[in-house]
Copies of this chain bind each other. A is one copy, B any other.
Amino acid sequence: MAELARTNRSRVKRLPKRGGYDFETVAAILDAGFLCHVGYVIEGDPYVTPTSYWREGDHVYWHGSSVSRMLRTLEAGTQACLTVAHIDGLVLARSGFHHSINYRSVMLFGRAHVVESPVDKERALQNFVERLYPGRWSELRPVTRKELNATTVLHMKIDEGAAKVRTGPPIDDAEDYDLPIWAGVVPVRMRVEPPVPDERLKAGVPVPEYLSDLAHVGLKR
């Protein structure tokens, strides 16, 4: 897919030059994280639930308890808006007005669908775990049928939405550049600290290799 649909809801209206509809751009932003915010409507009111997500091809997936209000609402086929935002820096300008944040964000619109078959559901959950921790799935105690039944997996096609990105230094008014005010960017990054083993961990179990670098999901040491 080359481009996402520019609809009335997906078109970037404010600062349109920050917007992008290229599938690869959207996919790269999705792949650089694991936390999204899903919006949905119940009886006319908006709800925003933070949850983890993963991408497979041109679909985005998320999951949760089968009794979750968010999942039960969305599996009924109502519209969803799934937003991902990565903060890259604080932008300090010479006027308050031009202060900003460097970020990479994606908004996706559509209807979610349930992964119905247990086989597909297990494969999706495997993909989720493997994306975060490559090699871990086969180490784990296998998933049970009861656990699968207690889990709902949703997916949504990535075909309507947009990326919005800000990078670079502050953009000040021309006459403000002469002012002796500090201006620049404070880079921000999600970082991991050394893994903390569970107190009940069996003796001799080493920290897995796949925890040594989580850069593939946007987490740096």
A25 at interface (Cβ–Cβ under 8 A)?
Answer: no
Interface 1/0 per residue, A196-218 and B, CB below 8 Å? 11111110111110010010000
In order of increasing CB-CB distance, the 4 nearest A-B pairs are A39-B46, A50-B85, A39-B48, A37-B37
A99 at interface (Cβ–Cβ under 8 A)?
Answer: yes
Task: Give the bracket for the number of chain A residues in contact with chain B.
Answer: 35 or more
A35, B37: Cα distance in complex, Å: 12
| Number of this chain's copies in the complex | 2
Q: Do A180 and B199 touch across chains, with their CB atoms under 8 A apart?
A: no
Q: Closest approach, in angstroms, between the C-beta of A175 and any C-beta of chain B? A: 9
Q: A-side interface residues toward B, CB under 8 Å?
A: 9, 13-14, 35, 37-42, 44-50, 52, 64-65, 67-69, 79-83, 85, 87, 90, 92, 94-97, 99, 101, 103, 105, 107, 109, 125-126, 129, 132-133, 136-137, 139-141, 143-144, 147, 150-151, 169-170, 176-202, 204-208, 211, 214, 219
A64, B179: Cα distance in complex, Å: 25
Q: Across the two chains, which residue of chain B brings its CB closest to A52?
A: B101
